[in-house]
Amino acid sequence: MPAQPPTRISFRARIVRAITGAYLRRIDAATADVHVARRRWHAVARIMWTAWRVRLEYGEIQGLRVAWLTPKRSAPGKLLLYLHGGAYIMGDCTTHRQLASHIARYAGVRALLPEYRLAPEYKFPAAVDDAVGLYRALLADGYLAEDIVIAGDSAGGGLTMATLLSLRDAGDPLPAAACLLSPWLDLAATGETMISNANRDPWFKAEDLPIVAKYYCKDEQMQHPLVSPVYADLSGLPPLYIQVGGDEILLSDSTRAADKVGAGGGEVDIEIWPGMWHVFQLFVHLMPESRRANRRLGAFVRRMLVADATSEP
């Protein structure tokens, strides 16, 4: 991988952090209307377009709406399957096509962005079933497991891990690797950074997370291994690459998972970005840190999938 993340925070990042934090910290999770929040985010996301020279096409697989993101120069037969975040209650092709398209462009491979079923209309395990079913459909359509990398941010990162665990336990061929961006891996919110980063996280309050989690699953399911993969056996997984912000309350979700993968003999590379917050990679047009993180994600995907990974896509 390239050099480690920078320790100094750019002026642009400070501005984005202040503006987004001022907005999100005002939201009361206990009284917020999920459907209103979903409509607002999906509407605002319409201005977030794809990366330069990446073609966007919509389709359907297994009854799910999907977006295909194809860079002008892409390695044939290689695929990045990107599972969007949004706390399992929001997010779609529009909200994440910009992020996924930049990673795909840097990787030089095609990306697929599906719209899995959302809570509270569809609770656990609907999202997991959708992701697993779509992956199997790709294999049935001719893709090879070793030619696929799965990635996801926040809840999409948790869904990526749940998908890997489900495939492993069912005996399906596993993808070449996986990327996790600020993954939400403990819906029970037991990590120590829920406390230690409480005053540093510009976006989230620890007391809000269990409220949001209840839209997705029942109380007794909070520590189910496919809901909160930090409680799962994490052995036998493909190589993992994790990017997480140093100031987010979900930081220990990533560090605990990385420790557990490593202890089980797995390959994991975790980067903690100082001063960054939850899924800072989204702001690729606004901050140099986001662009740098996207390039590093693309480099990892390319290294996992493309034989001549040293050449430019």
Residue 182 appears among annotated catalytic residues: no
Residue 154 appears among annotated catalytic residues: yes
What type of residue sits at position 201?
D
Strand partners, 269: 241
Active-site position among 74, 115, 278, 289: 278
Residues whose CB falls within 8 Å of the CB of residue 27, separated by 6 or more in sequence, listed in order:
37
Residue 278 appears among annotated catalytic residues: yes
Write a three-state SS string for the chain: CCCCCCCCCCHHHHHHHHHHHHHHCCCCCCCCCHHHHHHHHHHHHHHCCCCCCEEEEEEEECCEEEEEEEECCCCCCCEEEEECCCCCCCCCHHHHHHHHHHHHHHHCCEEEEECCCCCCCCCCCHHHHHHHHHHHHHHHCCCCHHHEEEEEECHHHHHHHHHHHHHHHHCCCCCCEEEEECCCCCCCCCCCHHHHCCCCCCCCCHHHHHHHHHHHCCHHHCCCCCCCHHHCCCCCCCCEEEEEECCCCCHHHHHHHHHHHHHCCCCEEEEEECCCCCCHHHCCCCCHHHHHHHHHHHHHHHHHHCCCCCCCC
Active-site position among 74, 101, 154, 290: 154
Active-site position among 248, 252, 254, 290: 248
For the annotated catalytic residues, the residue numbers are 154, 248, 278
